[in-house]
Structure 1
Amino acid sequence: METASFSGLLRSLVIIVLVYYALRYIMRLLAPVIVQQVVKKAEQSIYQRQQNTQDQYQQQSAAQDKAQERPAEKKKVGEYIDFEEIE
């Protein structure tokens, strides 16, 4: 079994620092692209919701137009009976 050495510790710290700075650099390059994709997806989602809302509104207005075109039928409750008074 090997014991830890100062050079091994130093080597590990250098590798960790290099990986950290490399990831920072890569994220600076990729962050605008990632943000752009997120914004684009949000725009599409909002556009689709707006289209769905407009479609529902058009369907409701079409249904109301059809209902308004037909005259409302009067309910037939029964026949009219003329009563005569008996004296």
Structure 2
Amino acid sequence: MIYTLSVVGLARTLLWIIGIYFVVKILSRLFAPFLVKYAAKKMEQKFGQQFGANQRPQQPNQKEGETVIDKMPSNTTSSNKKVGEYIDYEEID
């Protein structure tokens, strides 16, 4: 079957395309705020999960600006007395 191009068929196709374009445009204006709000809520939840895992809970008795040391460093570090051979240098004039 051979199809021939007709003006009526072309006009009908263009009207369908324009109609669908305007319907999508109107529906997007109606539903876009809900979609954006939903996407923002989901992103906030993901960010909260990632950020909350790395954050330590703040102690309730701690005042703002107060420095708190959680763990004292051990003072048992001993220097190694056997560091090598000592060489005495003399200046030559």
State the TM-score, normalizing by the size of structure 1: 0.62
**CA deviations over 1:26-64 (Å, ceiling 9, x no partner):** 211220111001111222233223312313999xxxxx6
Other structure's SS at 2:70 match: helix
Percent same amino acid among aligned pairs? 31
Gaps of 5+ in 1: 59-63, 79-87
The number of residues matched between the two structures is 71
Other structure's SS at 1:65 match: coil
Where does residue 8 of structure 1 map in the other structure? 9
- Distance (whole Å) between structure 2 residues aligned to residue 25 and residue 9 of structure 1: 24
Question: Which structure: greater helix fraction?
Answer: 1
CA root-mean-square deviation: 2.9
Gaps of 5+ in 2: 60-68, 82-93
Where does residue 70 of structure 2 map in the other structure? 65
- Distance (whole Å) between structure 2 residues aligned to residue 45 and residue 5 of structure 1: 54
